[in-house]
């Protein structure tokens, strides 16, 4: 790590808005505390790199809809709870006080539990309350398929929020659970933005400007998220950064172009990072795991000519501001 980047990482709390690491740990029998584990995110690497808040998902697939989704999400939640007790210096972030304590302690890593797709809630507010009590503090309203909350971005001619979706999002704003618009198609995004009472995020996304797929944010959606005070967190999945038909492999240069476009669109206070690590196979050369984040910091400083302050905001400060504005006190 270059000296100034190492110093910046030490002084900057880094936030990664999205990783499927515990889903993968359960599926593949891997241990995230093992430095040699074949995972993109491991606890030793988070510490070494200076990531202080890692969002981790309760991810369920379309085939797991209904009771199976609830079951699978509870299994991953149980694993996260057990790991947060077992691994030293790890804290589940449920409140502002948890966040403050975590940042005040030198080597503690905070886990922000994100339900990716609201299928496990099954349209039942009691299940939302149960997951909330267990520690879920961010919900990506849909994955690509439809659920009880809204249509996902993979649905042809999608509609917006369902009546239950309206109730759930209202409740999330009240409780301070971060509303995540990744995977949500335009009508759902418009519905949420029209009722936003706190900052909202897209936790892992590309931009339609540079890769035109319904999964990526339109200019209008990105600006709408910024208008709530929220963040557009750019992910590292090549299929979101450039057209998958592009013959050239995706590079760090391409990631720099997407981040530059995001900066151009919403400004340095509203761009963040959400790697999507452990959720896909193909990676960008030089960006294989969380230990490679200094290469992104180098892009921000050297290629995009951001100031150290803007770089720190993009690496973590912006996402932390959203958490502070959303999380309940105590
Ligand atoms: Zn995703």
pLDDT tens readout for residues 142-199: 999 999 999 999 999 999 999 999 999 999 999 999 999 999 999 999 999 999 999 9
How many other C-beta atoms lie within 10 A of the C-beta of residue 156? Answer: 7
Separation of 143 CA from ligand 1 center, angstroms?
Answer: 7
Say what the pLDDT of residue 187 is.
98
**Could you give the CA distance from residue 9 to residue 323 in angstroms, rounded to a whole number?**
20
Nearest to 254 by CA among 268, 270, 235: 235
Say what the pLDDT of residue 191 is.
98
pLDDT in tens, 189-221: 999 999 999 999 999 999 999 999 999 999 999
Separation of 163 CA from ligand 1 center, angstroms?
Answer: 24
Range with the poorest average pLDDT among 60-74, 216-230, 260-274, 308-322: 60-74
Indicate the pLDDT class of residue 77, thresholds 50, 70 and 90: very high
Does residue 270 have a pLDDT over 60? yes
Separation of 241 CA from ligand 1 center, angstroms?
Answer: 14
Bridge partners of 136, per DSSP, are 113
Q: What is the mean predicted confidence (pLDDT) over 76-89?
A: 96
Say what the pLDDT of residue 189 is.
98
Separation of 57 CA from ligand 1 center, angstroms?
Answer: 9
Separation of 139 CA from ligand 1 center, angstroms?
Answer: 11
Indicate the pLDDT class of residue 282, thresholds 50, 70 and 90: confident
Answer yes or no: are the C-beta atoms of 287 and 276 closer than 8 Å.
Answer: no
Model-wide pTM > 0.75 = yes
Answer yes or no: are the C-beta atoms of 90 and 56 closer than 8 Å.
Answer: no
Range with the poorest average pLDDT among 7-11, 73-77, 117-121, 284-288: 7-11
226-to-117, 159, 201, 299 alpha-carbon distances in Å: 22, 23, 8, 23
Indicate the pLDDT class of residue 329, thresholds 50, 70 and 90: confident
Cβ within 8 Å of residue 48, ≥6 positions away = 291
Count CA atoms within 13 Å of residue 18 on its CB side: 30
Indicate the pLDDT class of residue 21, thresholds 50, 70 and 90: very high
Say what the pLDDT of residue 65 is.
83
Separation of 61 CA from ligand 1 center, angstroms?
Answer: 10
**Could you give the CA distance from residue 44 to residue 76 in angstroms, rounded to a whole number?**
21
Supply the CATH number for residue 59's domain.
3.20.20.140
Separation of 276 CA from ligand 1 center, angstroms?
Answer: 7
Separation of 99 CA from ligand 1 center, angstroms?
Answer: 24
Q: State the virtual CA torsion across 266, 267, 268, 273 in degrees, nearest 10.
A: 20
Does residue 1 have a pLDDT over 60? no
H or E segment to which residue 312 belongs: helix 308-312
Separation of 52 CA from ligand 1 center, angstroms?
Answer: 21
Say what the pLDDT of residue 296 is.
97
pLDDT in tens, 245-257: 888 999 999 999 9
- The total number of residues written for the chain in this structure: 330
Q: What is the mean pLDDT of the chain?
A: 96
Give residue 285's domain range. Answer: 3-326
Does residue 32 have a pLDDT over 80? yes
Indicate the pLDDT class of residue 2, thresholds 50, 70 and 90: low
Relative to beta strand 201-205, strand 109-116 is unpaired
Separation of 190 CA from ligand 1 center, angstroms?
Answer: 19
Separation of 4 CA from ligand 1 center, angstroms?
Answer: 33
Does residue 236 have a pLDDT over 90? yes
Separation of 182 CA from ligand 1 center, angstroms?
Answer: 7
Q: What is the mean predicted confidence (pLDDT) over 27-46?
A: 97
Say what the pLDDT of residue 62 is.
84
Buried b / exposed e across 95-116, counting CB within 10 Å, b at 16+? ebebbeebeeeeebbbbbbbbb
Separation of 283 CA from ligand 1 center, angstroms?
Answer: 15
Indicate the pLDDT class of residue 230, thresholds 50, 70 and 90: very high
Say what the pLDDT of residue 146 is.
96
Does residue 330 have a pLDDT over 70? no
Separation of 2 CA from ligand 1 center, angstroms?
Answer: 32
pLDDT in tens, 108-129: 999 999 999 999 999 999 999 9
Does residue 3 have a pLDDT over 60? no
Nearest to 193 by CA among 237, 240, 232: 232
Separation of 25 CA from ligand 1 center, angstroms?
Answer: 17
Cβ within 8 Å of residue 327, ≥6 positions away = 93, 95, 96, 99, 137, 176
Can you list the alpha helix ranges (DSSP code H) found in 65-211? 67-86, 96-104, 125-134, 163-175, 186-194
Nearest to 266 by CA among 291, 231, 217, 317: 231
Nearest to 120 by CA among 86, 88, 85, 147: 147
Separation of 110 CA from ligand 1 center, angstroms?
Answer: 20
Does residue 281 have a pLDDT over 90? no
Comparing 280 with 111, which gets the higher pLDDT?
111
Separation of 131 CA from ligand 1 center, angstroms?
Answer: 19
Domain total in the chain: 1
Separation of 142 CA from ligand 1 center, angstroms?
Answer: 9
Biggest CA-to-CA distance, the chain:
53
What is the residue whose two structure tokens read 């940042």? 103
Answer yes or no: are the C-beta atoms of 318 and 271 closer than 8 Å.
Answer: yes
């Amino acid at each position: 790590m270059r000296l100034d980047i190492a110093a910046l990482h030490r002084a900057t709390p880094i936030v990664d808005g999205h990783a499927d690491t515990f889903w993968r740990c359960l599926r593949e029998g891997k241990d995230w505390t093992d430095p040699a584990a074949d995972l993109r995110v491991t606890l030793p690497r988070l510490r070494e790199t200076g990531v202080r808040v890692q969002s981790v998902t309760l991810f369920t697939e379309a085939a797991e809809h209904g009771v199976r989704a609830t079951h699978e999400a509870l299994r991953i939640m149980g694993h996260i709870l057990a790991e947060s007790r077992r691994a030293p210096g790890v804290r589940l972030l449920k409140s502002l006080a948890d966040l403050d304590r975590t940042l005040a302690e030198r080597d503690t890593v905070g886990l922000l539990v994100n339900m990716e797709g609201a299928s496990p809630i099954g349209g039942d507010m009691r299940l939302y309350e149960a997951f909330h009590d267990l520690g879920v503090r961010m919900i990506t309203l849909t994955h690509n398929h439809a659920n009880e909350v809204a249509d996902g971005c993979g649905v042809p001619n999608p509609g917006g929020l369902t009546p239950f979706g309206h109730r759930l999002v209202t409740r999330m704003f009240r409780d301070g659970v971060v509303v995540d618009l990744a995977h949500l198609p335009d009508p759902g995004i418009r519905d949420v933005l029209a009722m936003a009472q706190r900052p909202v995020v897209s936790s892992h996304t590309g931009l339609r400007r540079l890769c035109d797929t319904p999964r990526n944010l339109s200019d209008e959606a990105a600006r709408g998220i910024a208008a709530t005070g929220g963040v557009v967190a750019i992910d590292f999945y090549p299929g979101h950064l450039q057209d998958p038909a592009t013959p050239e492999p995706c590079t760090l240069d391409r990631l720099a172009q997407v981040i530059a476009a995001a900066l151009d669109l919403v400004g340095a206070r509203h761009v963040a990072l959400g790697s999507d690590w452990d959720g896909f196979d193909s990676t960008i050369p030089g960006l294989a795991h969380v230990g490679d984040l200094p290469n992104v910091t180098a892009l921000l400083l050297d290629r995009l000519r951001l100031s150290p302050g803007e770089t720190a905001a993009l690496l973590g400060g912006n996402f932390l501001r959203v958490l502070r504005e959303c999380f309940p006190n105590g």
